[in-house]
């Protein structure tokens, strides 16, 4: 039944009041101190490790996980959990190798990193790109999918849901990163508690269907009756191989998806950039542990719904336009919860959506204010002006998302696929640009520029290559598969792997060629001399003074990557759990 009862509204009201009151208290405390732009956007030095970890998860988990990953659990099974579990391993790598570089070099935004490592052209191109991506793809999909999910549970009009979610998120975002970070702790509490309530209901329903009781019994029935949904690695004969192509999830494109998302993404890294190294690493490790828990909340309910559907339940509820829609699995289960518990799960879903919206809006404001407005429109802006511009940007971005979201066809694609498809066209190039920029000093600005533009072109090329070339010869290796109409397509994750390798190779070639190319003094601009060319002066055959091009540097040394014993133990526990899970459910 698509309605909320009085008990549900009471539970939701309690959640709302807790968030509002606590957020206002944090804001008032912050306001008493001298607020700078870095304090507003990054909560510099204010967030504890548990606040950073909770904020990372609250920002990451949204409607596309609750609805989309549960739907994928219904269709694909536990294998979709690879996005969560491989993220846990990725977070350890980010904490050890990425965050120290950012913090040591006082990097506060991703475009700032690109400007410091390469040049202002690369930085500005990527700043504009990230703004477009965050507003047109991420913010709109989170808002629209969240509103759709809430409408399917509560029966409230879609437009009203969008406006309410946006307003709630704006209120939190206007308080700055400190308010977002600390309210995210409560958001994660409701997210996990409400999510576990839905999982409990789903497993109990499975258990009762087979005449037993208890969640453990229900899980046992899932693994025995829906055993085909408990394989983490698909072979080439699996009909869902195109979505998760075999070992690619362990040694291929899945690493690019996760390393780019968790290590090169303003939306995510911003949570840790205002802290010291020990605190940042502690928060990221905490987020990795929470990531290990997520499949229990967002995937298992989908598998339970699949088994119950197979056994004759939800035969009409799962249909849309006469066909089964896997994305209906989670809302169907939520509508079966008793009054009160339904309100708790409803609050969990709202918490996930609002936290993601607030985090995304703050990142949009940070990039626009610090990397575009301050550099292009008002280089002399004071701290108060920058904070006010940030707040205006938050409201403007949210209004734009409300206006354009219904016209993008997000619901037709499915939110998870929508986001992955559009970000996947640029992720390989961006990650190549970052990883070489981190660890190879000879990488040049033009090489980075190629990765930005060429990576996108290559992704489009591989996407449409099957339409004019027969790729059936790749089928035996698993790098192509018949899509059912005789066309052999390259799996999405494999395409990303190919593009990444090509981008790295071409970037190396460009950098090596440019590193040997001398330029005469009269060809150098002042900016070039300061940023892109070394002090080494040589004499050409004509006696002209020239300077050899070099890359801009970052301060990187091996001591930065040393971890504390506590972090090392936590990381080993996560790796051990991952090995065990993949061994059991291979």
Q: What was the pLDDT predicted at 523? A: 46
> Domain 37-413+560-584 in CATH: superfamily?
Sodium/glucose cotransporter (1.20.1730.10)
At residue 430, the 3 state secondary structure works out as helix
Per residue in 416-471, pLDDT tens? 655 666 677 888 988 999 899 888 888 888 898 899 888 889 988 888 888 787 77
533-539 and 545-549 strand pairing: antiparallel
Per-residue confidence (pLDDT) for residue 440, from 0 to 100: 85
Residue 503 has pLDDT above 90, yes or no: yes
Q: How many angstroms separate the CA atoms of 521 and 527, rounded?
A: 13
Q: What is the pLDDT of residue 526?
A: 42
Residue 46 has what pLDDT? 63
Looking at residues 33-51, what average pLDDT do you find? 64
* pLDDT reading at 30 higher than 70: no
Percentage of the chain beyond pLDDT 70 is: 85
Q: Per residue in 283-300, pLDDT tens?
A: 899 999 999 988 988 899
Q: Which of 83-87, 144-148, 254-258, 450-454 has the lowest mean pLDDT?
A: 144-148
Give the C-alpha separation, 454 to 119, whole Å.
18
Strands (E), 178-337: 319-320, 323-324
Tell me how far apart the alpha carbons of residues 109 and 362 are, in angstroms, rounded to a whole number: 12
Q: How confident is the model at residue 533 (pLDDT cuts 50, 70, 90)?
A: very low
- For residue 573, pLDDT over 90 is answered with yes
How many Å apart are CA 358 and CA 204, to the nearest integer?
34
Q: Indicate the average pLDDT of the chain.
A: 79
Say what the pLDDT of residue 327 is. 77
Q: What is the mean pLDDT of residues 351-368?
A: 82
**pLDDT tens, position by position, 115-170:** 888 888 888 888 888 888 888 877 888 888 788 778 877 778 888 888 988 888 88
Maximum average pLDDT range among 7-11, 311-315, 468-472, 566-570: 566-570
pLDDT at 337 over 90: no
Closest CA to 423 of 114, 122, 119, 64: 64
Categorize the per-residue pLDDT at 34 as very low, low, confident or very high, splitting at 50, 70 and 90. Answer: very low
Identify the pLDDT of residue 16: 79
pLDDT at position 509 over 90: yes
* Predicted local distance difference test score (pLDDT) of residue 570: 93
**Per-residue CA distances from 391 to 43, 175, 180 (Å):** 15, 9, 14
Average pLDDT over residues 397-407: 84
pLDDT of residue 409: 62
DSSP 466: G
Q: What is the pLDDT of residue 569?
A: 94
Q: 3-state DSSP call for residue 480? A: coil
* pLDDT confidence band for 1 (50 / 70 / 90): low
- 87 or 174, greater pLDDT: 87
The confidence score (pLDDT) of residue 357 equals: 85
466 vs 90, higher pLDDT: 90
Higher pLDDT: 552 or 272? It is 272
Are 139 and 397 in contact by the 8 Å Cβ rule? The answer is yes
What average pLDDT does range 69-83 have in this prediction?
87
Q: Between 64 and 489, where is the model more confident?
A: 489
- Number of other CB atoms surrounding residue 325 within 10 Å: 16
Q: What is the pTM of this model?
A: 0.80
Q: Given this model, what pLDDT does residue 2 score?
A: 62
DSSP states of 320-363 as a string?
A: ETTEE-GGGHHHHHHTTSPTTHHHHHHHHHHHHHHHHHHHHHHH
pLDDT of amino acid 136: 81
The SS3 of residue 294 is helix
Pairwise pLDDT comparison (183 vs 397), residue with the higher score: 397
* pLDDT confidence bin for 547, thresholds 50/70/90: very low
Q: For the segment 162-194, what is each residue's pLDDT rounded down to a tens digit?
A: 898 888 888 877 776 667 767 777 777 877 887
Local structure of residue 134 (DSSP, 8 states) = I
């Amino acid at each position: 039944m698509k309605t909320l009862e009085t008990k549900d509204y009471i539970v939701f009201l309690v959640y709302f009041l807790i968030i509002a009151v606590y957020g206002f208290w944090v804001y008032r405390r912050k306001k008493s101190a001298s607020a700078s732009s870095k304090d507003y956007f990054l909560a510099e030095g204010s967030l504890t490790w548990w606040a950073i970890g909770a904020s990372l998860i609250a920002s990451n988990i949204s409607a596309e996980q609750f609805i989309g990953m549960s739907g994928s659990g219904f269709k694909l099974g536990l294998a979709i959990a690879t996005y969560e579990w491989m993220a846990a391993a990725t977070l350890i790598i980010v904490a050890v190798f990425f965050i120290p570089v950012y913090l040591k070099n006082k990097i506060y935004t991703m475009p700032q990193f690109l400007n410091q490592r390469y040049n202002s052209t690369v930085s500005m191109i990527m700043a504009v790109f990230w703004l477009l991506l965050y507003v047109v793809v991420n913010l709109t999909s989170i808002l629209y999918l969240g509103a759709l999910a809430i409408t399917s549970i509560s029966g409230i009009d879609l437009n009203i849901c969008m406006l309410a979610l946006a307003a709630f998120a704006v209120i939190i975002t206007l308080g700055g990163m400190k308010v977002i970070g600390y309210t995210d702790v409560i958001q994660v509490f409701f997210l996990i508690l409400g999510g576990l309530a839905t999982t409990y209901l789903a497993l109990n329903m499975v258990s009762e269907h087979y005449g037993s009781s208890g969640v453990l019994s229900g899980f046992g029935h899932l693994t025995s009756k829906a055993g085909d949904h408990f394989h983490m690695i698909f072979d080439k004969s699996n009909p869902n191989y195109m979505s998760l192509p075999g070992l690619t999830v362990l040694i291929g494109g899945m690493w690019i998806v996760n390393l780019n998302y968790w290590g090169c993404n303003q939306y995510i890294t911003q949570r840790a950039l205002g802290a010291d190294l020990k605190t940042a690493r502690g928060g990221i490790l905490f987020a990795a542990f929470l990531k290990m828990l997520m499949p229990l909340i967002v995937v298992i309910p989908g598998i339970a719904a699949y088994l119950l559907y197979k056994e004759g339940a939800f035969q009409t509820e799962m249909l849309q336009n006469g066909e089964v829609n896997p994305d209906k699995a989670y809302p169907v289960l939520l509508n079966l919860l008793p009054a009160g518990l339904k309100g708790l799960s409803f609050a969990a879903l709202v918490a996930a959506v609002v936290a993601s919206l607030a985090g995304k809006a703050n990142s949009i404001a940070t990039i626009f204010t610090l990397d575009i407005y301050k550099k292009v429109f008002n280089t002399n802006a004071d701290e108060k002006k920058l904070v006010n511009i940030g707040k205006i940007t938050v409201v403007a971005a949210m209004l734009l998302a409300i206006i354009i979201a219904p016209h993008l066809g997000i619901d037709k694609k499915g939110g998870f696929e929508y986001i992955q498809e559009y970000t996947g066209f640029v992720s390989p190039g961006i990650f190549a640009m970052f990883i070489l920029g981190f660890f190879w000093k000879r990488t040049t600005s033009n090489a980075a520029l190629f990765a930005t533009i060429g990576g996108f072109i290559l992704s489009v090329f591989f996407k449409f290559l099957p339409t004019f070339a027969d790729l059936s010869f790749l089928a035996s290796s698993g790098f192509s598969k018949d899509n059912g109409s005789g066309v052999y397509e390259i799996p999405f994750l494999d395409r990303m792997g190919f593009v990444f390798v090509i981008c790295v190779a071409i970037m190396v070639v460009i950098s090596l060629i440019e590193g040997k190319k001398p330029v005469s003094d009269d060809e150098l601009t002042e900016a070039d001399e300061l940023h892109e060319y070394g002090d080494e002066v040589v004499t050409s055959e004509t006696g002209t003074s020239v300077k050899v091009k070099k890359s801009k540097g970052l301060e990187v040394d091996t001591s930065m990557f040393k971890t504390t014993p506590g972090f090392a133990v936590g990381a080993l526990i996560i790796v051990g759990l991952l090995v065990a899970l993949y061994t059991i459910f291979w």
